[in-house]
A = this chain, B = another copy of it.
Amino acid sequence: MISVESRSSAISGSVGVRAPCERCFTENDQHEPLLQRGLMPSQLEELRERLAEINDLGRARALLGWDERTQMPPAGAEVRAEQVATLARIRHELLISDELGRLIEGAASETESLPYDSDDASLVRVARRGWDKARRVPADLRAELTRAASLAEHAWADARADSDFAAFLPHLQKNVELRRRYADCFDGFDDFVDEFDPLLDDFEPGMTTPEMTAVLGELRDGIRPLIAAVAESGADIDDSCLHGDFPLDAQETLAREVVTELPLQEGAWRLDQTVHPFATAISPADLRITTRFEPEYIGTAVWAVIHESGHAIYENGVPKELWRSPLASPSSLGFHESQSRLWENWVGRGRPYLERLMPRLRELFPARLGEVELDTLYRAANKIEPSLIRVEADQVTYNLHIILRFELELGIFDGSIDLADLPEAWNSKVQEYLGISVPDDAQGVLQDVHWAGGMFGYFPTYSLGNVVAGQLWDRITAELPDVEEQIGRGELTGLREWLRENLHRHGNKFMPKELIEKVVGGPIDVAPYVRQLHERVAEIYDI
Protein backbone atom coordinates (compact mmCIF):
# COMPACT_ATOMS: atom_id res chain seq x y z
CA MET A 1 0.00 0.00 0.00
CA ILE A 2 1.29 3.42 -0.87
CA SER A 3 0.81 5.92 1.90
CA VAL A 4 -1.81 8.40 0.76
CA GLU A 5 -0.29 11.24 2.77
CA SER A 6 2.83 11.19 0.67
CA ARG A 7 0.97 12.03 -2.51
CA SER A 8 1.48 15.67 -3.22
CA SER A 9 -1.44 16.22 -5.55
CA ALA A 10 -4.82 17.40 -4.47
CA ILE A 11 -6.32 14.30 -2.93
CA SER A 12 -9.01 16.16 -1.17
CA GLY A 13 -11.17 13.44 0.28
CA SER A 14 -9.15 12.48 3.29
CA VAL A 15 -7.67 15.81 4.25
CA GLY A 16 -9.07 17.71 7.18
CA VAL A 17 -9.86 21.38 6.99
CA ARG A 18 -10.78 24.06 9.48
CA ALA A 19 -14.48 24.63 9.70
CA PRO A 20 -15.66 27.86 11.33
CA CYS A 21 -15.86 26.07 14.63
CA GLU A 22 -14.70 22.53 14.16
CA ARG A 23 -14.59 21.75 17.86
CA CYS A 24 -18.35 22.02 18.04
CA PHE A 25 -18.46 18.78 16.09
CA THR A 26 -16.55 16.87 18.72
CA GLU A 27 -18.40 14.62 21.09
CA ASN A 28 -16.04 15.41 23.93
CA ASP A 29 -17.35 18.94 24.08
CA GLN A 30 -14.67 21.12 25.53
CA HIS A 31 -16.75 24.19 24.79
CA GLU A 32 -19.27 23.46 27.44
CA PRO A 33 -17.88 25.51 30.34
CA LEU A 34 -17.49 28.48 28.03
CA LEU A 35 -20.95 27.99 26.57
CA GLN A 36 -22.34 28.08 30.09
CA ARG A 37 -20.52 31.34 30.67
CA GLY A 38 -21.97 32.63 27.40
CA LEU A 39 -18.53 33.38 26.03
CA MET A 40 -18.35 30.99 23.10
CA PRO A 41 -16.32 31.30 20.96
CA SER A 42 -14.17 33.58 23.06
CA GLN A 43 -11.06 35.31 21.78
CA LEU A 44 -9.16 33.28 24.34
CA GLU A 45 -10.44 30.04 22.84
CA GLU A 46 -9.50 31.21 19.36
CA LEU A 47 -6.10 32.32 20.57
CA ARG A 48 -5.58 28.94 22.17
CA GLU A 49 -6.44 27.18 18.89
CA ARG A 50 -4.12 29.37 16.88
CA LEU A 51 -1.26 28.96 19.36
CA ALA A 52 -1.81 25.20 19.28
CA GLU A 53 -1.32 25.28 15.51
CA ILE A 54 1.87 27.27 15.91
CA ASN A 55 3.03 24.77 18.50
CA ASP A 56 2.19 21.85 16.22
CA LEU A 57 4.27 23.38 13.43
CA GLY A 58 7.23 23.86 15.77
CA ARG A 59 7.00 20.29 17.00
CA ALA A 60 6.65 18.94 13.45
CA ARG A 61 9.78 20.85 12.57
CA ALA A 62 11.50 19.32 15.59
CA LEU A 63 10.55 15.87 14.32
CA LEU A 64 12.01 16.66 10.90
CA GLY A 65 15.20 17.77 12.66
CA TRP A 66 15.37 14.67 14.83
CA ASP A 67 14.74 12.45 11.83
CA GLU A 68 17.43 14.25 9.85
CA ARG A 69 19.99 13.57 12.56
CA THR A 70 19.02 10.03 13.47
CA GLN A 71 17.07 8.30 10.69
CA MET A 72 17.16 10.07 7.35
CA PRO A 73 18.92 8.43 4.43
CA PRO A 74 21.75 10.82 3.47
CA ALA A 75 20.36 11.58 0.00
CA GLY A 76 17.35 13.21 1.67
CA ALA A 77 19.36 16.14 3.05
CA GLU A 78 18.81 18.67 0.28
CA VAL A 79 15.03 18.53 0.21
CA ARG A 80 14.84 18.17 3.97
CA ALA A 81 16.47 21.57 4.38
CA GLU A 82 13.68 23.07 2.25
CA GLN A 83 10.99 21.24 4.22
CA VAL A 84 12.37 22.49 7.52
CA ALA A 85 12.60 26.04 6.16
CA THR A 86 8.99 25.91 4.95
CA LEU A 87 7.67 24.79 8.33
CA ALA A 88 9.71 27.47 10.08
CA ARG A 89 8.51 30.13 7.68
CA ILE A 90 4.85 29.26 7.93
CA ARG A 91 5.08 29.02 11.70
CA HIS A 92 6.71 32.41 11.82
CA GLU A 93 4.09 33.97 9.57
CA LEU A 94 1.39 32.76 11.92
CA LEU A 95 3.40 34.01 14.89
CA ILE A 96 3.71 37.58 13.60
CA SER A 97 0.28 37.81 12.02
CA ASP A 98 -2.03 40.77 12.68
CA GLU A 99 -4.74 38.25 13.47
CA LEU A 100 -2.72 36.75 16.30
CA GLY A 101 -2.13 40.25 17.66
CA ARG A 102 -5.87 40.95 17.67
CA LEU A 103 -6.62 37.67 19.39
CA ILE A 104 -3.99 38.39 22.03
CA GLU A 105 -5.51 41.77 22.78
CA GLY A 106 -9.00 40.33 22.86
CA ALA A 107 -7.95 37.48 25.12
CA ALA A 108 -6.07 39.94 27.34
CA SER A 109 -9.34 41.79 28.01
CA GLU A 110 -11.12 38.54 28.75
CA THR A 111 -8.45 37.40 31.19
CA GLU A 112 -7.54 40.64 32.94
CA SER A 113 -9.36 39.67 36.11
CA LEU A 114 -7.64 36.30 36.34
CA PRO A 115 -4.73 35.73 38.73
CA TYR A 116 -1.28 36.40 37.29
CA ASP A 117 -0.24 32.77 37.63
CA SER A 118 -3.42 31.27 36.16
CA ASP A 119 -2.91 29.21 33.03
CA ASP A 120 -5.00 31.57 30.91
CA ALA A 121 -3.43 34.83 32.05
CA SER A 122 0.01 33.27 31.64
CA LEU A 123 -0.86 32.08 28.14
CA VAL A 124 -1.84 35.57 27.06
CA ARG A 125 1.20 37.16 28.71
CA VAL A 126 3.71 34.74 27.17
CA ALA A 127 2.05 34.91 23.76
CA ARG A 128 2.07 38.68 23.83
CA ARG A 129 5.77 38.89 24.67
CA GLY A 130 6.59 36.46 21.87
CA TRP A 131 4.45 38.35 19.39
CA ASP A 132 5.94 41.72 20.42
CA LYS A 133 9.47 40.37 20.00
CA ALA A 134 8.85 38.66 16.70
CA ARG A 135 7.12 41.71 15.18
CA ARG A 136 10.08 43.96 15.85
CA VAL A 137 12.35 42.22 13.36
CA PRO A 138 11.83 43.07 9.67
CA ALA A 139 11.39 40.11 7.36
CA ASP A 140 14.41 40.97 5.22
CA LEU A 141 16.73 41.10 8.23
CA ARG A 142 15.45 37.74 9.38
CA ALA A 143 16.05 36.27 5.95
CA GLU A 144 19.57 37.67 5.96
CA LEU A 145 20.26 36.25 9.40
CA THR A 146 19.10 32.82 8.32
CA ARG A 147 21.06 32.88 5.10
CA ALA A 148 24.26 34.25 6.68
CA ALA A 149 24.13 31.62 9.43
CA SER A 150 23.68 28.86 6.91
CA LEU A 151 26.64 30.02 4.83
CA ALA A 152 28.74 30.62 7.93
CA GLU A 153 28.09 27.13 9.26
CA HIS A 154 29.37 25.59 6.07
CA ALA A 155 32.40 27.90 6.03
CA TRP A 156 33.03 27.13 9.70
CA ALA A 157 33.09 23.38 9.08
CA ASP A 158 35.75 23.85 6.39
CA ALA A 159 37.70 26.41 8.43
CA ARG A 160 37.77 24.15 11.45
CA ALA A 161 38.98 21.22 9.36
CA ASP A 162 41.86 23.38 8.09
CA SER A 163 42.31 25.33 11.34
CA ASP A 164 41.99 28.43 9.15
CA PHE A 165 40.41 31.28 11.13
CA ALA A 166 41.02 33.78 8.34
CA ALA A 167 38.68 31.84 6.06
CA PHE A 168 35.93 32.02 8.69
CA LEU A 169 36.51 35.67 9.67
CA PRO A 170 34.33 37.33 6.98
CA HIS A 171 31.40 35.13 7.95
CA LEU A 172 31.87 35.90 11.62
CA GLN A 173 31.99 39.61 10.79
CA LYS A 174 28.78 39.31 8.82
CA ASN A 175 27.06 37.41 11.62
CA VAL A 176 28.09 40.00 14.20
CA GLU A 177 27.00 42.88 11.99
CA LEU A 178 23.61 41.27 11.44
CA ARG A 179 23.20 40.47 15.13
CA ARG A 180 23.92 44.13 15.93
CA ARG A 181 21.16 45.13 13.53
CA TYR A 182 18.95 42.49 15.14
CA ALA A 183 19.67 43.87 18.61
CA ASP A 184 18.90 47.39 17.39
CA CYS A 185 15.34 46.27 16.65
CA PHE A 186 14.74 46.03 20.39
CA ASP A 187 15.42 49.62 21.33
CA GLY A 188 13.24 50.41 24.35
CA PHE A 189 11.86 46.88 24.63
CA ASP A 190 11.11 45.49 28.08
CA ASP A 191 13.82 46.32 30.60
CA PHE A 192 16.70 45.94 28.17
CA VAL A 193 19.68 48.00 29.33
CA ASP A 194 22.48 46.74 27.09
CA GLU A 195 22.92 46.15 23.37
CA PHE A 196 23.66 42.49 24.21
CA ASP A 197 20.39 42.04 26.15
CA PRO A 198 18.25 41.13 23.11
CA LEU A 199 20.70 38.38 22.20
CA LEU A 200 20.71 36.96 25.71
CA ASP A 201 16.94 37.26 25.85
CA ASP A 202 16.46 34.79 22.99
CA PHE A 203 17.92 32.06 25.19
CA GLU A 204 17.33 33.37 28.71
CA PRO A 205 14.30 35.65 28.66
CA GLY A 206 14.53 38.68 30.92
CA MET A 207 18.14 38.12 31.96
CA THR A 208 20.16 41.28 31.44
CA THR A 209 23.82 41.48 30.52
CA PRO A 210 24.90 43.10 33.82
CA GLU A 211 23.09 40.34 35.73
CA MET A 212 24.68 37.57 33.72
CA THR A 213 28.09 39.27 34.00
CA ALA A 214 27.75 39.41 37.76
CA VAL A 215 26.66 35.78 38.07
CA LEU A 216 29.39 34.40 35.84
CA GLY A 217 32.03 36.71 37.35
CA GLU A 218 31.21 35.42 40.80
CA LEU A 219 31.26 31.87 39.53
CA ARG A 220 34.65 32.41 37.90
CA ASP A 221 36.09 33.84 41.08
CA GLY A 222 34.59 31.00 43.07
CA ILE A 223 36.05 28.16 41.06
CA ARG A 224 39.45 29.46 39.98
CA PRO A 225 40.90 28.93 43.47
CA LEU A 226 39.47 25.43 43.42
CA ILE A 227 41.25 24.59 40.19
CA ALA A 228 44.44 26.11 41.54
CA ALA A 229 44.13 23.98 44.66
CA VAL A 230 43.68 20.85 42.60
CA ALA A 231 46.78 21.73 40.57
CA GLU A 232 48.76 22.43 43.74
CA SER A 233 47.69 19.14 45.30
CA GLY A 234 49.78 17.38 42.69
CA ALA A 235 47.26 14.52 42.73
CA ASP A 236 46.78 12.75 39.44
CA ILE A 237 43.51 10.85 39.52
CA ASP A 238 43.59 7.63 37.55
CA ASP A 239 40.65 7.63 35.15
CA SER A 240 42.01 4.89 32.92
CA CYS A 241 39.03 2.67 33.83
CA LEU A 242 36.81 4.88 31.66
CA HIS A 243 39.03 4.43 28.64
CA GLY A 244 39.90 1.38 26.57
CA ASP A 245 37.89 -1.12 24.62
CA PHE A 246 34.13 -0.92 25.34
CA PRO A 247 32.11 -3.06 22.89
CA LEU A 248 29.46 -0.91 21.25
CA ASP A 249 26.58 -3.36 21.62
CA ALA A 250 27.19 -3.58 25.37
CA GLN A 251 27.32 0.21 25.51
CA GLU A 252 23.96 0.39 23.81
CA THR A 253 22.50 -2.14 26.24
CA LEU A 254 23.85 -0.08 29.11
CA ALA A 255 22.51 3.22 27.77
CA ARG A 256 19.05 1.73 27.25
CA GLU A 257 19.04 0.37 30.80
CA VAL A 258 20.20 3.72 32.16
CA VAL A 259 17.29 5.55 30.52
CA THR A 260 14.81 2.85 31.52
CA GLU A 261 15.85 3.25 35.17
CA LEU A 262 15.39 7.02 35.04
CA PRO A 263 11.94 8.31 36.03
CA LEU A 264 10.60 8.90 32.52
CA GLN A 265 7.03 7.96 31.65
CA GLU A 266 6.93 4.48 30.18
CA GLY A 267 6.19 4.41 26.46
CA ALA A 268 6.98 8.11 26.09
CA TRP A 269 10.61 8.08 24.97
CA ARG A 270 13.10 6.49 22.63
CA LEU A 271 16.87 6.46 22.42
CA ASP A 272 18.74 6.75 19.12
CA GLN A 273 22.26 7.32 17.93
CA THR A 274 23.52 10.52 16.40
CA VAL A 275 26.76 12.50 16.00
CA HIS A 276 26.15 15.29 18.52
CA PRO A 277 23.88 14.14 21.36
CA PHE A 278 20.69 16.14 21.87
CA ALA A 279 17.18 15.75 23.25
CA THR A 280 13.99 16.97 21.69
CA ALA A 281 10.33 16.79 22.67
CA ILE A 282 7.91 16.04 19.84
CA SER A 283 5.37 16.37 22.61
CA PRO A 284 5.68 16.08 26.40
CA ALA A 285 4.78 12.40 25.94
CA ASP A 286 7.03 11.80 22.92
CA LEU A 287 10.63 12.40 23.92
CA ARG A 288 13.57 11.69 21.69
CA ILE A 289 16.87 11.16 23.48
CA THR A 290 19.99 10.76 21.39
CA THR A 291 23.59 9.89 22.11
CA ARG A 292 26.70 8.58 20.45
CA PHE A 293 28.86 5.70 21.54
CA GLU A 294 32.63 5.93 21.55
CA PRO A 295 34.48 2.65 21.18
CA GLU A 296 37.31 3.76 23.49
CA TYR A 297 35.37 5.65 26.18
CA ILE A 298 32.41 4.60 28.30
CA GLY A 299 31.52 8.05 29.68
CA THR A 300 29.27 9.13 26.82
CA ALA A 301 27.08 6.04 27.16
CA VAL A 302 26.43 6.97 30.79
CA TRP A 303 26.62 10.71 31.40
CA ALA A 304 25.63 12.10 28.00
CA VAL A 305 22.65 9.76 28.12
CA ILE A 306 21.67 10.88 31.62
CA HIS A 307 22.19 14.52 30.61
CA GLU A 308 19.84 14.29 27.64
CA SER A 309 17.35 12.29 29.70
CA GLY A 310 17.37 15.16 32.21
CA HIS A 311 16.11 17.48 29.47
CA ALA A 312 13.47 14.90 28.59
CA ILE A 313 12.31 14.48 32.21
CA TYR A 314 11.71 18.25 32.35
CA GLU A 315 9.53 18.29 29.21
CA ASN A 316 7.78 15.13 30.38
CA GLY A 317 6.79 16.89 33.63
CA VAL A 318 4.76 19.67 32.04
CA PRO A 319 1.08 19.19 32.97
CA LYS A 320 -1.38 18.26 30.27
CA GLU A 321 -3.35 21.52 30.57
CA LEU A 322 -0.37 23.32 29.05
CA TRP A 323 0.32 20.96 26.14
CA ARG A 324 0.21 22.33 22.59
CA SER A 325 0.67 25.85 23.91
CA PRO A 326 3.68 28.17 24.27
CA LEU A 327 3.55 27.24 27.97
CA ALA A 328 4.36 23.59 27.22
CA SER A 329 8.09 23.91 26.71
CA PRO A 330 10.38 25.83 29.05
CA SER A 331 11.98 28.65 27.09
CA SER A 332 14.84 29.36 29.50
CA LEU A 333 17.86 27.40 28.39
CA GLY A 334 19.38 27.99 31.81
CA PHE A 335 16.52 26.19 33.53
CA HIS A 336 16.57 23.47 30.91
CA GLU A 337 20.28 22.97 31.44
CA SER A 338 19.76 22.94 35.21
CA GLN A 339 17.74 19.77 34.76
CA SER A 340 20.14 17.98 32.42
CA ARG A 341 23.08 18.83 34.65
CA LEU A 342 21.33 17.99 37.87
CA TRP A 343 20.65 14.48 36.62
CA GLU A 344 24.05 14.14 34.97
CA ASN A 345 26.33 15.52 37.67
CA TRP A 346 24.48 15.63 40.97
CA VAL A 347 22.79 12.26 40.43
CA GLY A 348 24.83 10.48 37.74
CA ARG A 349 28.32 11.29 39.05
CA GLY A 350 27.31 10.88 42.68
CA ARG A 351 28.54 7.91 44.71
CA PRO A 352 25.08 6.38 45.38
CA TYR A 353 24.16 6.27 41.70
CA LEU A 354 27.52 4.84 40.68
CA GLU A 355 27.43 2.27 43.47
CA ARG A 356 24.11 1.02 42.17
CA LEU A 357 25.35 0.98 38.57
CA MET A 358 28.68 -0.71 39.40
CA PRO A 359 27.57 -4.40 39.28
CA ARG A 360 26.00 -3.95 35.87
CA LEU A 361 29.07 -2.13 34.56
CA ARG A 362 31.22 -5.03 35.75
CA GLU A 363 28.91 -7.53 34.05
CA LEU A 364 28.76 -5.68 30.75
CA PHE A 365 32.45 -4.78 30.58
CA PRO A 366 34.31 -7.47 32.49
CA ALA A 367 37.60 -6.81 30.70
CA ARG A 368 37.73 -3.12 31.56
CA LEU A 369 35.68 -2.82 34.73
CA GLY A 370 35.50 -6.34 36.16
CA GLU A 371 38.05 -5.59 38.88
CA VAL A 372 37.53 -1.86 39.30
CA GLU A 373 36.54 -0.58 42.75
CA LEU A 374 33.66 1.86 43.28
CA ASP A 375 35.99 4.46 44.69
CA THR A 376 38.17 4.32 41.58
CA LEU A 377 35.14 4.78 39.35
CA TYR A 378 33.76 7.60 41.49
CA ARG A 379 37.06 9.48 41.45
CA ALA A 380 37.48 8.95 37.69
CA ALA A 381 33.96 10.26 37.08
CA ASN A 382 34.78 13.43 38.99
CA LYS A 383 38.36 14.07 37.91
CA ILE A 384 39.29 17.72 37.40
CA GLU A 385 41.77 18.51 34.67
CA PRO A 386 41.96 21.62 32.48
CA SER A 387 41.62 20.74 28.81
CA LEU A 388 41.19 22.39 25.44
CA ILE A 389 37.79 21.24 24.26
CA ARG A 390 34.61 22.43 25.96
CA VAL A 391 32.46 19.40 25.25
CA GLU A 392 35.09 17.11 26.75
CA ALA A 393 35.73 19.24 29.84
CA ASP A 394 35.11 18.10 33.41
CA GLN A 395 32.24 19.56 35.43
CA VAL A 396 34.37 22.25 37.10
CA THR A 397 36.63 23.60 34.35
CA TYR A 398 33.68 23.43 31.95
CA ASN A 399 32.46 26.66 33.49
CA LEU A 400 35.67 28.47 32.61
CA HIS A 401 35.20 27.45 28.97
CA ILE A 402 31.77 29.07 29.14
CA ILE A 403 32.86 32.16 31.02
CA LEU A 404 35.69 32.94 28.62
CA ARG A 405 33.29 32.63 25.67
CA PHE A 406 30.79 34.95 27.33
CA GLU A 407 33.50 37.50 28.12
CA LEU A 408 34.67 37.37 24.50
CA GLU A 409 31.09 37.81 23.26
CA LEU A 410 30.73 40.92 25.40
CA GLY A 411 34.06 42.23 24.09
CA ILE A 412 32.96 41.63 20.52
CA PHE A 413 29.70 43.49 20.99
CA ASP A 414 31.05 46.39 23.09
CA GLY A 415 33.76 46.89 20.47
CA SER A 416 36.72 46.22 22.73
CA ILE A 417 37.70 43.14 20.73
CA ASP A 418 38.41 43.38 17.02
CA LEU A 419 37.21 40.15 15.42
CA ALA A 420 40.52 39.75 13.60
CA ASP A 421 42.18 39.52 17.02
CA LEU A 422 39.73 36.99 18.38
CA PRO A 423 42.07 33.97 18.23
CA GLU A 424 44.67 35.87 20.22
CA ALA A 425 42.10 36.98 22.78
CA TRP A 426 40.80 33.39 22.99
CA ASN A 427 44.23 31.86 23.46
CA SER A 428 45.21 34.36 26.10
CA LYS A 429 42.06 33.67 28.14
CA VAL A 430 42.58 29.92 27.87
CA GLN A 431 46.11 30.45 29.15
CA GLU A 432 44.88 32.68 31.96
CA TYR A 433 41.91 30.57 33.14
CA LEU A 434 42.98 27.04 32.26
CA GLY A 435 46.73 27.36 32.23
CA ILE A 436 47.16 25.72 28.83
CA SER A 437 48.41 26.84 25.44
CA VAL A 438 46.15 26.49 22.45
CA PRO A 439 48.06 24.69 19.70
CA ASP A 440 45.78 25.73 16.83
CA ASP A 441 42.46 27.46 16.17
CA ALA A 442 40.67 24.19 15.43
CA GLN A 443 41.18 23.34 19.10
CA GLY A 444 40.61 26.95 20.06
CA VAL A 445 38.28 29.62 18.75
CA LEU A 446 36.93 27.41 15.97
CA GLN A 447 35.82 24.48 18.13
CA ASP A 448 32.13 25.38 18.56
CA VAL A 449 29.40 25.90 15.97
CA HIS A 450 27.40 28.47 17.98
CA TRP A 451 28.93 31.69 16.62
CA ALA A 452 28.81 30.32 13.09
CA GLY A 453 25.09 29.88 13.61
CA GLY A 454 24.82 33.46 14.88
CA MET A 455 23.95 32.23 18.35
CA PHE A 456 25.61 34.82 20.58
CA GLY A 457 24.27 34.73 24.13
CA TYR A 458 23.66 30.98 24.11
CA PHE A 459 26.87 29.88 25.88
CA PRO A 460 26.26 31.55 29.27
CA THR A 461 23.06 29.56 29.79
CA TYR A 462 25.16 26.39 30.14
CA SER A 463 26.83 27.69 33.29
CA LEU A 464 23.67 29.37 34.48
CA GLY A 465 22.18 25.88 34.42
CA ASN A 466 24.88 24.65 36.76
CA VAL A 467 24.23 27.52 39.14
CA VAL A 468 20.48 26.88 39.19
CA ALA A 469 21.05 23.15 39.65
CA GLY A 470 23.21 23.96 42.68
CA GLN A 471 20.41 26.04 44.19
CA LEU A 472 17.87 23.32 43.48
CA TRP A 473 20.09 20.67 45.03
CA ASP A 474 20.32 22.64 48.28
CA ARG A 475 16.52 22.81 48.43
CA ILE A 476 16.15 19.18 47.50
CA THR A 477 18.54 17.89 50.15
CA ALA A 478 16.80 20.13 52.71
CA GLU A 479 13.34 18.86 51.83
CA LEU A 480 14.28 15.27 50.95
CA PRO A 481 17.09 14.59 53.41
CA ASP A 482 17.34 10.96 52.31
CA VAL A 483 17.48 11.69 48.58
CA GLU A 484 20.96 10.18 48.28
CA GLU A 485 19.77 6.99 49.94
CA GLN A 486 16.79 6.89 47.59
CA ILE A 487 19.12 7.24 44.61
CA GLY A 488 21.30 4.47 45.99
CA ARG A 489 18.25 2.21 46.08
CA GLY A 490 17.37 3.15 42.52
CA GLU A 491 14.29 5.04 43.68
CA LEU A 492 14.34 8.10 41.51
CA THR A 493 10.69 9.06 41.52
CA GLY A 494 10.97 10.97 44.81
CA LEU A 495 13.43 13.36 43.21
CA ARG A 496 11.36 13.51 40.03
CA GLU A 497 8.21 14.33 42.00
CA TRP A 498 9.98 17.12 43.85
CA LEU A 499 11.14 18.58 40.56
CA ARG A 500 7.67 18.23 39.03
CA GLU A 501 5.92 19.85 41.95
CA ASN A 502 8.40 22.69 42.32
CA LEU A 503 9.54 23.32 38.75
CA HIS A 504 8.23 21.20 35.90
CA ARG A 505 4.55 21.86 36.51
CA HIS A 506 5.05 25.55 35.75
CA GLY A 507 6.12 24.83 32.18
CA ASN A 508 6.89 28.13 30.51
CA LYS A 509 4.44 30.23 32.54
CA PHE A 510 7.02 32.38 34.22
CA MET A 511 10.09 34.40 33.36
CA PRO A 512 13.25 32.75 34.72
CA LYS A 513 13.55 35.50 37.32
CA GLU A 514 10.05 34.75 38.62
CA LEU A 515 10.62 31.04 38.42
CA ILE A 516 13.77 30.95 40.53
CA GLU A 517 11.94 32.89 43.23
CA LYS A 518 9.08 30.39 43.15
CA VAL A 519 11.35 27.37 43.27
CA VAL A 520 14.03 28.34 45.79
CA GLY A 521 12.54 31.46 47.36
CA GLY A 522 15.25 33.85 46.21
CA PRO A 523 17.20 35.14 43.22
CA ILE A 524 19.98 33.44 41.28
CA ASP A 525 22.76 32.66 43.75
CA VAL A 526 26.13 31.22 42.84
CA ALA A 527 27.09 30.24 46.39
CA PRO A 528 25.42 26.81 46.66
CA TYR A 529 26.97 25.56 43.44
CA VAL A 530 30.44 26.79 44.34
CA ARG A 531 30.14 25.26 47.81
CA GLN A 532 28.98 21.93 46.41
CA LEU A 533 31.87 21.84 43.94
CA HIS A 534 34.31 22.60 46.73
CA GLU A 535 32.87 19.78 48.82
CA ARG A 536 33.05 17.24 46.05
CA VAL A 537 36.54 18.25 44.94
CA ALA A 538 37.76 18.31 48.51
CA GLU A 539 36.51 14.76 48.93
CA ILE A 540 38.05 13.49 45.71
CA TYR A 541 41.37 15.27 46.07
CA ASP A 542 41.69 15.10 49.85
CA ILE A 543 42.11 18.87 50.11
Contact = CB atoms under 8 A, between A and B. Distances in A.
Interface in A166-182: 182
A103 interface: no
A336 B286 CA distance: 33
A478 interface: no
A30 interface: no
Nearest to A55: B8
B10 A90 contact: no
Contacts of A149: 14
Given A89-B16, A130-B9, A140-B19, A60 B83 contact: yes
Interface stretch (A188-196, A221-229, A264-272, A518-526): A264-272
A134 to B, nearest CB: 5
Nearest to A12: B134
Contacts of A146: 14-17
A6 interface: yes
Contacts of A87: 56-57, 60
Contacts of A99: none
A64 B74 contact: no
A130 B15 CA distance: 13
A265 to B, nearest CB: 6
A472 interface: no
Contacts of A63: 63-64, 67
Contact of A65 (B5, B54, B56, B337): B5
Interface residues of A, number: 119
B86 A52 contact: yes
Contacts of A107: none
B269 A73 contact: yes
20 contacts: A6-B280, A7-B58, A9-B126, A9-B130, A9-B331, A9-B508, A10-B133, A13-B199, A14-B454, A15-B142, A16-B85, A16-B142, A16-B146, A17-B88, A17-B139, A17-B142, A52-B86, A71-B270, A73-B269, A76-B283
A235 B236 CA distance: 82
A285 interface: yes
Contacts of A137: 12
A60 B60 contact: yes
A25 B143 contact: yes
A329 B79 CA distance: 14
A276 interface: yes
A113 interface: no
A72 interface: yes
Given A126-B9, A279-B3, A328-B8, A90 B90 contact: yes
B56 A82 contact: yes
Contact of A52 (B82, B129, B131): B82
Q: Which of A17, A65, A199 has the most CB of B within 10 A?
A: A17
Contact of A58 (B8, B20, B134, B333): B8
Interface in A56-111: 56-67, 71-76, 78-80, 82-83, 85-93, 95-96
A251 interface: no
Interface stretch (A318-326, A436-444, A498-506): A318-326
B331 A11 contact: yes
B143 A287 contact: no
A242 to B, nearest CB: 22
A283 B82 CA distance: 11
Nearest to A202: B13
Contacts of A96: 17
Interface string A234-261: 0000000000000000000000000000
Contacts of A61: 5
Contacts of A328: 8
A405 interface: no
B139 A3 contact: no
Contacts of A333: 2
A293 interface: no
Contacts of A395: none
A140 B20 contact: yes
B6 A281 contact: yes
A10 B19 CA distance: 27
B76 A15 contact: no
A18 B66 contact: no
A464 B27 CA distance: 39
Nearest to A90: B90
A22 interface: yes
A407 interface: no
A62 B9 contact: no
Q: Which of A5, A6, A145 has the most CB of B within 10 A?
A: A6
